[in-house]
Structure formats: C-alpha cells, structure tokens
Amino acid sequence: MTHLTLKTELKFNSDSDRIDLIEALKAERTAFNICSEIHFNSKSKNSIIEMHKNCYLQIRKSNPEIKSQLIIKAENNCLSAYKSVKSNKHKLTKAIVKKGLSTHYDARLSSYADGIFRFTTLNRRVEAFPVMYNRLKTYLSKYKFGDILLYSDGVKVFVCLSFKVPEIEVIPKLALGVDLGIRRFATTSDGKLIISKKYNREKRQIRHLKSSLKSKGTKSAKRKLKKLRRKEFNHNNNFNHLLANEILRTKANLIVIEDLDVKQLKSKKSRYQNKNRISQVSFAKLRFILTYKAGLVNKQVVCVSPYYTSQIDHANGKISGERKGCRFYSESGLIYDADVNAAVNIAYRSNLPISYKNVLDGQGFVSNPYI
C-alpha cells in the first residue's frame, strides 16, 4: 500500500462559518498549551489516563466554551508530542504552541459525504467544501481516509487527507531520460526543452521585492515579507506540478532522472557559477511530485548517478568531445544540444530501450559543425 496525501483549501457558505472553525482551532491550541503546562510541571508519566485526570476538569473550569472532544484531542496531541521527545532522546522541554493553528479531526469531530465536510466548532457544526473537489473525488469515491488534518494561517483554512492506495506493479518497457538544470528546467531524451521565461521573470520580481522589504525592517515590511514568502512557496510548488505534468506527457513508462545533491552543486568544484540560483531550485520537491504523479498514471521514476552524463558522447558511450555552453562538440564533427546529450546518457543508465526519436531525427542537435 502507498500512502498518498492530498491538500486543498476549504471554502465555506459564509465568513462566519470560516471564523468559527478558526476559533475552534485556536481553542484546541489553548487546551494543548494548558495540558502541556500541567503535564510538564507535574512530571507525571506519559499516560493518557494521567493526562486526562490532571487536565480535563481544570480546562473545563477555566475554558467552559471548549468542547469536551476538543479537549480530549488536545490531550492526545500533547501526549504524542512528549512521547516523540522521549523516543527521539531529545532534551525534555515544555511544548508550547504560539502561532500554529492545526489539529487532527477524527470521526467524532468531523464527517464527510457527497463532497461536503462537516466540522465541530465551539458552538455548532459548519460545512466546508474542498476547492479542488474534481481532483479529490476520484480518491474520495474509491479509498478511505483516516483522521483529517486541519490547519490555518489565520485567514484561510486547509485540509490534508491521507489515503492508502494499493500499489500497481509497473513493468518498465521504455525509458525517458530527464536532465534537470537551472536555465532549462528540464530537458528530455526525446528532445523536449522545458523553459519558462514567465516563471523566471516572476521569480526575479519576488526576489527583488524580498530584498527591498528586508532592508526596511519595519513591522509592516515584516508582515508583507511573510505574505511574500507564502506567495513564493505557492509559486514554486505550482511550477513544480506543471513541470512534472509536462515531463509525464510521454509514451515511456520509466522516467529516469539524476540523483542531484544541491550541496554538491553549490560546492567550489561545481561547474555552476551562480550558486544562489541553485539554492532556489527544489530538485527534491520536484522528484517527490514527479514520483507520486507517475504512480497515478502507472509509471515509475528512478534515480541514477549524475556523474559524467554531460561529458559522455551518447553516440559511442565514451568520455570524448567537449562541452561549450549549450553545445556538445563530438569527435565525429557533430554538434549536439548538450542537455539533450546528457538526457540520453541518463536514459541509457536504465538499461532499457529509450525514448529517443527526436534526437535520431536530428531535431535535438545541430549536424553542421560550422554553424
């Protein structure tokens, strides 16, 4: 079984419904902090019975508006936090949540039917609708999900659902090599070059604005900077999804990518000169998205060593010729597109027939050495 987690924003019938749910999350956070304070000071055992005996009545007296089920959920979350500290052998410190708004809603606090979530708040139950319902309904109709993770940034509310999806065995038959880069985000062995000038332009604008806000240092600048960071995260995440979708538009059922290490690329020995741009490329995030999306369409992603893929001539499999910029000059006199050449070498490392048509047709490289 494969665990698949999907996240989406929730929409509500009215602002009052949204505010009530956010207030319920704040109340659960308050109950969590009270539980943590009592448990830490009492130095009692990590037992739910002890936790409930020490905390429940005290929270009910001091905060009567908090529902009993929310208090019990806060007790469980608090106990899990202290058990995690102990199992990981970390130094015992008081677990206090200052800003985060998140909790797990189980079947006693929530329900789902026909595309509508219902959540218990402090006063009533409210209805919420997933924004990406068309994307979720395939899984909601086929698979069961466990507890619902709700979290909020204080304005919007999001839900995370975890599904257990049965694994489908993929028998690799045709491989597609993908060379990931900085200027060209991805180049495939069948000659597809994925470049986005719009993404690069928006990335530069966000980076320039962040630099400007950091230099001001005012409270309003810090608030804007926080929003801008969230916008940057969403911008990068959205582009990674679009990039993965574009790569998967192929007949090949095995996607071969490089096992890139950003720390290694940023080292002094790296051939990349602009280290700052490398740090902003989330290769690991792209690989994660590509892997889970490939599983949804009965494809597989494997990682291979990136060493010498740019120096080997794909025509003879030897380290020969020379790379200059975006061109690879072979010993035979042909000039290849350097990234396509690298993508073909990456695909070869799967030891399978590769998606190679465009390169063989001459669309992926220049055949005239004097151009």
Structural domain boundaries in the chain: 2-165, 169-371
Q: Which residue type occupies 209?
A: L
Backbone angles phi, psi at 161, to 5 degrees: -120, 135
Tokens 């061109």: give the residue. Answer: 327
Count Cβ neighbours within 10 Å for each residue of 240-259 and write b for 16 or more, e otherwise. beebbeebbebebbbbbbbe
C-beta of residue 20 within 8 angstroms of C-beta of residue 120: no
* Contact predicate 115/130, CB 8 Å: yes
Contacts of 145 (CB under 8 A, 6+ apart): 139, 161, 162, 163
Q: Could you state, in chain order, the average pLDDT of each consecutive group of 10 residues for the chain (371 residues)? A: 78 92 91 88 82 88 87 88 83 80 85 87 90 75 76 88 72 85 82 80 85 84 86 85 89 87 53 48 80 83 87 83 82 82 87 60 33 24
pLDDT at 359: 44
Report the pLDDT value the prediction gives residue 22, as an integer from 0 to 100: 92
Please tell me the number of Cα atoms within 13 Å of 253 on its side-chain side.
Answer: 11
Distance from C-alpha of 187 to C-alpha of 245, rounded to nearest angstrom: 14
Q: Residue 21's pLDDT is what? A: 92
Residue 97's pLDDT is: 83
Q: What is the pLDDT of residue 1?
A: 62
325 vs 318: CA distance, rounded Å: 20
pLDDT in the model for residue 355: 66
Position 19 scores a pLDDT of 92
Q: Kindly report the backbone phi and psi dihedral angles of residue 316, in degrees, each rounded to the nearest multiple of 5, phi listed first.
A: -120, -5
- Residue 81: the pLDDT is 86
User: In this predicted structure, what is the pLDDT of residue 356?
Assistant: 58
